[in-house]
């Protein structure tokens, strides 16, 4: 059971919930904090104090005061007007990751939403109501407004969802799952929409796969070295201690462990005329290690983001303050994921060069051309 308290989540936890392998609940501490935050919003409304997003318009209309009688309509229209994404729907795993991440950041108690909002998100996770969220439409600089709006449509019983493998109106999906749609109160539409949980969800799952890929590349590289009768000398720990990047040293150690006690290596230790192997073999620790470093950095950023308040404005109950800021901006996550994408591309590049050496009869150390025993017909 994963108990949400607005904490930083590990990629493994996000992936496990996305696959439906780990149940999720809201901690008692978080529930009390969220209720206290909501109480401050109610006090603001009762006092007539003007606060952005609570009783004002949005963006360029932030100077327009909204009367108490129209506060629910304001939040409802905000959700409907921003549900304008296009393209294919996100996968169910990505959608589940979004539900988890949005519930967790609301659990920090800095958005002013009721505990009911989080309870509804977690019920959708538990019972498999997955909003249909188009993959395109996020602005990034304003967070993931459009994707989160599509998620929020289902919360209020509108839009479309997948339920038990069937696409249907969200109202019907919620009815079948026994979940009551929410009538949004003041600030709650904005609390659901403001944030980076779409990019975080997609990025978290991609990073989790990329880390597996990076270790798999070591395995494939070690097997390639064996097939080409190469030498593990380039992975000697002393070489990498002389250039002590953590990822490089990790990759070298992993490659050495994979090649330990290799019988193939022993067959050509003596009288091998080659001085050193090709770059694509010899430089695996440097390239694979740099990829590890990039993915490690991206993991750190995304895990910090998973437990960060990305709403605007933010509620601070200790001083009864509601402060406008820019935590919704996607730059920290976007730059980290761009870096990770560049790294994975480089991993694919060196992998392709190793494949070429394996299949090319001019460089594959006597292996069959194109690795087939029936060259020319296979």
Exposed/middle/buried for 129, CB within 10 Å: 0-12, 13-18, 19+? Answer: buried
Beta strands 129-131 and 314-316 are: unpaired
Question: Whole-angstrom Cα distance, residue 306 to residue 86?
Answer: 25
Query: Coil, strand, or helix at residue 166?
Result: strand
What's the distance, Cα to Cα, between the start and end of the chain in Å? 52
Pair of tokens at residue 58: 């949005």
Is 52 annotated as catalytic?
yes
Of 52, 163, 279, 339, which one is the catalytic site residue?
52
Could you give the dihedral angle defined by the CA atoms of residues 269, 270, 273 and 279, in that order, rounded to the nearest 10 degrees? 10
Angstrom CA distances, 258 to 224, 265, 270, stand at: 12, 12, 21
Could you give the dihedral angle defined by the CA atoms of residues 144, 165, 87 and 212, in that order, rounded to the nearest 10 degrees? 70
Q: Give the active site residues.
A: 52
């Amino acid at each position: 059971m994963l108990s949400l308290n607005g904490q930083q989540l590990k990629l493994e936890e996000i992936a496990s919930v996305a696959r439906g392998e780990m149940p999720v609940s809201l901690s008692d501490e978080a529930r009390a904090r969220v209720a206290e935050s909501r109480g401050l919003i109610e006090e603001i409304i009762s006092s007539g104090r003007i606060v952005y997003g609570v009783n004002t318009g949005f963006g360029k209309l932030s100077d327009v005061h909204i009367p108490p009688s129209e506060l629910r309509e304001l939040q409802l229209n905000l959700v409907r007007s921003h549900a304008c994404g296009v393209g294919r729907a996100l996968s169910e795993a990505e959608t589940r990751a979004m539900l988890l991440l949005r519930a967790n950041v609301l659990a920090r108690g800095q958005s002013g939403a009721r505990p009911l909002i989080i309870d509804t998100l977690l019920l959708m996770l538990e019972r498999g109501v997955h909003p249909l969220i188009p993959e395109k439409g996020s602005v990034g600089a304003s967070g993931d407004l459009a994707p989160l709006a599509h998620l929020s449509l289902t919360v209020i019983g509108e839009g479309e969802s997948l339920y038990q493998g069937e696409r249907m109106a969200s109202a019907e999906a919620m009815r079948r799952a026994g979940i009551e749609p929410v009538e949004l109160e003041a600030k709650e539409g904005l609390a659901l929409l403001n944030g980076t949980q779409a990019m975080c969800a997609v990025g978290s799952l991609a990073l989790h796969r990329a880390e597996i890929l990076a270790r798999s590349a070591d395995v494939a590289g070690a097997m390639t070295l064996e097939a080409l009768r190469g030498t593990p000398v380039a992975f000697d720990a002393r070489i990498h201690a002389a250039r002590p990047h953590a990822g490089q040293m990790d990759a070298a150690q992993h490659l050495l462990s994979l090649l330990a006690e290799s019988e193939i290596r022993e067959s050509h230790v003596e009288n091998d005329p080659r001085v050193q192997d090709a770059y694509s073999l010899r430089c695996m620790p440097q390239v694979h290690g740099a990829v590890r470093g990039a993915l490690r950095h991206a993991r750190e950023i995304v895990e910090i983001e998973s437990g960060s308040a990305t709403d605007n404005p933010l509620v601070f109950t200790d001083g009864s303050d509601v402060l406008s800021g820019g935590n919704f901006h996607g730059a920290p996550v976007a730059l980290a994921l761009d870096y990770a994408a560049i790294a994975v591309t480089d991993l694919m590049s060196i992998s392709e060069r190793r494949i070429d050496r394996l299949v090319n009869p001019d460089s594959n150390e006597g292996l069959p051309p194109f690795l087939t025993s029936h060259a020319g017909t296979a």
